Amino acid sequence: MNRSPVLVDLALQGGGSHGAFTWGVLDRLLEEPWFQIAGISGTSAGAMNAAVLADGWAAAGAAGAREALEKYWRSVSRAAAFSPLQRSPFDRLMGRWSLDSSPAYFFTDLMSRVLSPYDLNPLGFNPLRRVLAESIDFERLARAPIKLFVTATRVRTGRGRIFRNAEITADVLLASACLPTMFRAVEIDGEPYWDGGYAGNPTITPLVRETDAQDTVIVQINPTERPEEPRSAADILNRLNEISFNSPLAKELRMIALLRQVADPGTGEGARWSQMKTHRIKSDLLATFGSSSKLNAEWAFVAKLQEEGRRAAGEFLDAHGADIGQRSTADLDILLTEC
Q: What is the pLDDT of residues 29-70, one digit of tens each?
A: 999 999 999 999 999 999 999 999 999 999 999 999 999 999
Q: How confident is the model at residue 302 (pLDDT cuts 50, 70, 90)?
A: very high
Mean per-residue pLDDT for 259-266?
65
For 155-166, the pLDDT digits (tens) are: 999 999 999 999
Mean per-residue pLDDT for 140-158?
97
Q: Which residues contact 269 (CB under 8 A, 6 or more apart)?
A: 209, 263
**CA-closest candidate to residue 212, choices 291, 308, 145, 158:** 145
Q: Are 182 and 109 in contact (CB under 8 A)?
A: no
Q: Which residue has the higher pLDDT, 250 or 187?
A: 187
- What region does 268 belong to: left with phi over 0, alpha with psi -120 to 50, or beta? left
Question: What pLDDT sits at residue 339?
Answer: 45
The alpha helices in 113-181, defined as continuous H runs, are 117-120, 128-135, 138-142, 170-176
CB atoms within 10 A of CB 107: 12
Q: How confident is the model at residue 90 (pLDDT cuts 50, 70, 90)?
A: confident
For 221-261, the pLDDT digits (tens) are: 987 777 788 887 777 877 887 787 778 777 887 777 777 66
Question: What pLDDT sits at residue 3?
Answer: 87
DSSP three-state, residue 56:
helix
The alpha helices in 185-267, defined as continuous H runs, are 205-210, 233-262
Question: What pLDDT sits at residue 333?
Answer: 58
Q: Which residue has the higher pLDDT, 65 or 328?
A: 65
**What's the rounded Cα separation, in Å, for the pair 333 and 330?**
9
Question: What pLDDT sits at residue 263?
Answer: 63
> Residue 176: what are its φ and ψ, rounded to 5°?
-65, -20
CB atoms within 10 A of CB 335: 15
Question: What pLDDT sits at residue 137?
Answer: 98
Element (H, E) at 215: strand 215-219
DSSP structure string for 268-324 = HHHHHHHH-EEEEE--GGGGGS-GGGGG---HHHHHHHHHHHHHHHHHHHHHHGGGT
Question: What pLDDT sits at residue 264?
Answer: 58
